[in-house]
Amino acid sequence: MTVTKGLEGIVATTSSISSIIDDTLTYVGYDIDDLAENATFEEVIYLLWHRRLPNKEELKELTAQLAENMDVPKEVLDHFKTFPIQSVHPMAALRSAISNLGLYDAEADVMDKEANYKKAIRLQAQISTIVTAFARIRKGLEPVSPKKDLSFAANFLYMLSGKDPSAIEEEAFNKALVLHADHELNASTFTARVCVATLSDVYSGITAAIGALKGPLHGGANEAVMKMLTEIGSVENVESYVKNKLDNKEKIMGFGHRVYRNGDPRAKHLRAMSEKLTKLTGQSQYYEMSVKIEELVTSQKPLPPNVDFYSASVYHSLGIDHDLFTPIFAVSRTSGWLAHILEQYDNNRLIRPRAEYTGPGMQKYVPVDER
């Protein structure tokens, strides 16, 4: 057997959902640059699930279905109040809530195609409500019910703050959702597919994916980037901070990506949005620090920034708590996870790789008194 650490370069399945070829990311053949500039998140959800963009009626129907299914069972939200609310990380709360959500779905274990699609609608709609409700409950605030006439992106920001977002805020958040929606066979997507390949249910698949996304080497990177920017404090401190990190061979979060040689194609969209939003909110120092860090790091190492690097200052400028950055990633990536879960069900085979054994050779049992 040939062993490849981290399964790097191993092709584990076929998929018609997204591709990364020559540093170009596509969703069903549509370049991410095209979608980031033009598409709504609702269009991207439809594209990932149906492998084509919707017409007006289909988009209207999906938008209505998402809006109608955003309400979450009261029992799920009340469960948050039993958590150690001031210390629990939102990703841990989200992981538990999605698992809990399955208990209140009468079709949770119904595995036909129609039932699974309905569950996909409910999960995509409700994860947004769960994240925003937790964010408010831990501050002693009541959850805000969604508005039926708002877009998915606008509804999230509305449920988080209780205020209708501005056009630029909605645009920025929609763009972030589009950019994070899918990314081929990343760690959390692979986890979801492994889980449901056993014919486990959709809720189990999404819960497993959230568990994988929680790690700082995957979804947690943008939260770590914002922590870094906060620690640095000002542009004047960037050079010494970066030099110290590089001299000590410490990782600087938000740089490099295993599947891209010349840079993450998503990063430039959030860089432009970071510049615009930080200026608008009077927090240009975060964009300026980010640019300076990028210049210093890329001059020393061939590691361009990835999508996490500039998403940190974008989310901060939207007034979002830093530990909510990864749950927001999950809100978006749920669309991709669900696409892959449904695809796995359609052409399923149990995913069961092998491991090369490196332990001792054949041994003989010795009774405990003789050891």
* Same-domain status, 180 and 302: no
Question: Domain range spanning residue 48?
Answer: 16-214+324-346
* Same-domain status, 165 and 275: no
177, part of any domain: yes
User: Quick one: pLDDT at residue 210?
Assistant: 98
Q: Where are any strands of DSSP class E within the chain?
A: 18-21, 24-27, 30-31
Tokens of 85: 């609310």
11, part of any domain: no
Q: Does 221 score more than 90 pLDDT?
A: no
Beta bridge partners, 30, equal 27
Q: Which amino acid is at 38?
A: N
Q: Catalytic: which of 180, 183, 257, 269? A: 257
Q: How far apart are CA 279 and CA 286, in angstroms?
A: 9
32, part of any domain: yes
* Same-domain status, 134 and 158: yes
Q: Does 249 score more than 80 pLDDT?
A: yes
The proportion of the chain whose per-residue pLDDT surpasses 90, expressed as a percent, equals: 85
Write down the pTM of the prediction. Answer: 0.94
Q: Catalytic: which of 105, 201, 264, 308? A: 308
Q: Which long-range contacts (CB under 8 A, 24 or more apart) does 191-200 make?
A: 192/337, 192/340, 192/341, 192/344, 193/13, 193/340, 193/341, 193/344, 193/351, 194/351, 196/341, 196/344, 196/345, 196/348, 197/344, 197/348, 197/349, 197/350, 197/351, 198/350, 199/111, 199/348
Of 119, 121, 69, 78, which Cα lies nearest the Cα of 96? 78
* Same-domain status, 310 and 339: no
227, part of any domain: yes
User: Quick one: pLDDT at residue 16?
Assistant: 97
Q: How high is the mean pLDDT of the chain?
A: 94
Q: Are 286 and 277 in contact (CB under 8 A)?
A: no
Q: Does 365 score more than 80 pLDDT?
A: yes
* Same-domain status, 237 and 88: no
* Same-domain status, 53 and 166: yes
183 has catalytic annotation: no
For 28-53, what is each residue's pLDDT tens digit?
999 999 999 999 999 999 999 999 99
Least confident segment among 173-182, 241-250, 302-311 = 302-311
* Same-domain status, 267 and 155: no
340 has catalytic annotation: no
Q: Which amino acid is at 96?
A: S
358, part of any domain: no
86, part of any domain: yes
pLDDT level of residue 300 (50, 70, 90 thresholds): confident
For 125-153, what is each residue's pLDDT tens digit?
999 999 999 999 999 999 999 999 999 99
